[in-house]
Structure formats: C-alpha cells, structure tokens
Structure 1
Amino acid sequence: MWSGKKCSDSAAGTPTAEEEVKVVLVGDTQCGKTSLVQRFVSDTFIEAYTPTGFEKYGYTCTVADYRVNFSVWDTSGTTAYDTVRPLAYQDARIFMLCFNVAEPESLHNAAAKWYREVRTHGGSAPVLLCGCKADLRHDKETVAMLSKLRSHPVTSEEETVAMLSKLRSHPVTSEEETVAMLSKLRSHPVTSEEVSTAAIRLPLVLRNIS
C-alpha cells in the first residue's frame, strides 16, 4: 500500500535539494505501529485493528530548502515474519522501536528482541524508542487491570532506563553532567589535592593583600 501527503514548513520558495529517508517501524503485534503511521502520513486515526504484513507509505515534506521524501515501512510483529522481516531493514535511515505503554512486556521486548534484531540486520542506523497508546497511561480500566497483575503502565522514566540498560549505560547523574560540561571547558572537577593546595595558598594570598 502506498499513500502520500505533502506539507510545507517553508514560507516561500522552491526546494533546491531532495532527501530520501526510509523509516522502518518494528515492535510487538498490536502495539500501535499502524495507527502511528496513519497519524503521520494522513493525519487520521484507526481504531479497528487490522493485521499487518508489510505496508509501505509515502510522505513528502518541505523544510526550508529541502524536500524530504519519507518512505515509511510498517512491519508485522508476528513470529511468522521473523525470517523475512529483516529484508525491509535494508537502506533504513532510522528505526522506530514501538511498544504499548499499557503493556510493560512490550517495552521489555523492544529492548531485548527488537533492538537486537535491528542492530543485527539494520546496521548502525539511529534507533528511536516510541511509546504508543500513551492515552492509556492514565486510563482507569487499564490501570485497574494492570494493578491486579501487580503491574502498571510504562512510565517515561522506565522507557529511558530500559533503553539505556540495553545500551549498557545508565541515566546521566549530576556528577556526569558536571564532568561533561567541564570537559567542554577543558577543565575538570576539583580534586582533593587541589583543595589542599588552595587551603595552603589562601593564607599567603590574604597576607599579601593586607
């Protein structure tokens, strides 16, 4: 299937260059991939679930002096497509790892299964973690159902931790923020030795001033 839509963020003028961008969506079955694509390419929302095989959509957007032609690939999350799904990953410029906010297990799969799959077959293209069905995060029925299972909708903090843990990293601490900023300034955090040296020199400085 191919559908197209055009938009423009430029006030006037004709684009002088074109850019081709292939976007591939992956994730568990019924996690919201198709609804996300439809919202993007046609500004519509599909409530009824229809099984997906491989669907391809087109979207053209003019930004400044560039005409960006998006090729959006919606893939199936069923195991029946595990061997053929990676064929869609060729030449992808970015992957969107989708999960259902109301199904914590789908977030686990995004990191444990889908990230591994796109890294194995999709090269080094950037990966974007995308939580779908976010409106269910505060839905009373959803919260009550998950509560019975001793669970809860995925929070934004859990999204970050899940992806960072897969990358063998961790949320940035205040100390790391300081070190990163100081490194840009070609400096470093104050060491205990520097504190001792400053304590020794300070009386001498004050004596000279007086």
Structure 2
Amino acid sequence: KLRATDCTAKCVVVGDFEADKCGLLQAAAGDRSHCHNGNDFCPGVFENRTVDVDIGLSEDGPVSLSLWDTTGLENYDRLMALIYPETDVFIICFSLTSPQGWRRVLEKWHSELRQNCPDAAIVLVGTNLEQRNSAMTSSLASSSMM
C-alpha cells in the first residue's frame, strides 16, 4: 500500500525560455498571480516548491511532488546538470508558437536528459496554446507579404 507520507517525487521542468515553464509550475502549484504568459521575468527563478498531488495511487491521500523551476538557466548547461541527480520525472516544455521549439526538444533536451538521467521518466508538454493561432496568423501574413 502506497502512503502519502512515503512518497515524494522530484520533478524538474526544463525547456527553452519561451516555453513558459514558470506559468506551468505556478499553475501546478495553484498560483497564477505572478504569471505573465512567459513574457516577463518569473519571480521564482531556480526555486523548488513541494505540492501535494492526488494521483489516485494512495489510500491516504495526495503524494508530495517536489517541483524544480529552471527558468533562467536554459543557457547554463553546467548549472542545469547540478539539478538533474535524483530526479524522478522531467517535464520538457516547448512552445507551440515556436517553430524551433520541437527541434530543441529533440536536439538538446531529450538527449541531455537521457545522458544524465537515463532512468528518469520524461513528459513532454506543449505550452502557449492560447497564443498559437495568433502566432500562426502573423507568420502567414508575413510570408504572404513577401
């Protein structure tokens, strides 16, 4: 039997800056008061926060999820590598409005995480869905003007 007091999972959120990792973490923690759709500085750079999440596996209630924010460290590979040990789950965020976002998932993030933590689970999350249509419209308008 899984008890909530026995289970804490380390979850590190990675991805390029425009992927709005901060917004995802604040939403997961139930706090959207400081989020600005990834356009402004996230006040919780390199912080971790533990939240209780009911995943339906525990008869005693929610389990603890230690959420690690890497916003601001995207270009500091050595610092990022210090966060990776003992991670149970990585969330790779990529912006649905960025054509190179998915490419970076494949070329950088996935291979880096597999090299450093081959046994950790990886979850992909596409962000900025609400901005996708306006970005596509702008892109199409730009290409039709040429």
Class of the TM-score when normalised by the shorter of the 2 chains: 0.7 to 0.9
Of the three residues 11, 15, 21, the one matched with 1:27 is 15
Residue segments in structure 1 that go unaligned for 5+ positions in a row: 1-14, 151-210
TM-score (norm 1): 0.57
Q: Structure 1: how far apart are the matches of 2:40 and 2:131?
A: 16
Counting matched residue pairs gives: 133
Instruction: Report the CA distance shift for 1:110/1:85 in structure 2 as closer, same or farther (over 3 A).
Output: same
The 5-angstrom pairing of residues 149-160 of structure 1 reads none
1:29 Cα deviation from its structure 2 partner: 1.2
CA displacement 1:14-38 (0-9 Å, x = unmatched): x575311111111011311000000
The equivalent residue for 1:18 is: 6
CA radius of gyration, larger in: 1
The 5-angstrom pairing of residues 1-210 of structure 1 reads 17-44=5-32, 46-47=35-36, 49-50=40-41, 53-62=45-54, 63=56, 64-66=58-60, 67-75=62-70, 76-79=72-75, 81-139=76-134, 142-147=135-140, 148=142
Q: Structure 2: how far apart are the matches of 1:61 and 1:115?
A: 25
1:77 Cα deviation from its structure 2 partner: 4.6
Instruction: Report the CA distance shift for 1:117/1:144 in structure 2 as closer, same or farther (over 3 A).
Output: same
Instruction: Kindly provide the amino acid, as one letter, of the partner of residue 117 in structure 1.
Output: E
Bigger shift: residues 20-29 or 65-74: 65-74
Q: Structure 2: how far apart are the matches of 1:16 and 1:32?
A: 29
TM-score (norm 2): 0.80
CA displacement 1:22-75 (0-9 Å, x = unmatched): 111110113110000000002425115215641211101344414411100111
CA displacement 1:89-135 (0-9 Å, x = unmatched): 11111111100100020111011100111111122211111101111
Q: Structure 1: how far apart are the matches of 2:53 and 2:74?
A: 31
Alpha carbons 2:12, 2:69 under 8 Å: kept? yes
Instruction: Kindly provide the amino acid, as one letter, of the partner of residue 146 in structure 1.
Output: S
Q: Structure 2: how far apart are the matches of 1:112 and 1:126?
A: 18
Alpha carbons 1:17, 1:65 under 8 Å: kept? no
Residue segments in structure 2 that go unaligned for 5+ positions in a row: none
Alpha carbons 1:25, 1:98 under 8 Å: kept? yes
Alpha carbons 1:97, 1:114 under 8 Å: kept? yes
Q: CA RMSD in A?
A: 2.2
Question: Greater relative contact order (Cα 8 A, min sep 6): structure 1 or 2?
Answer: 2
Q: Identical aligned pairs, as a percentage? A: 24
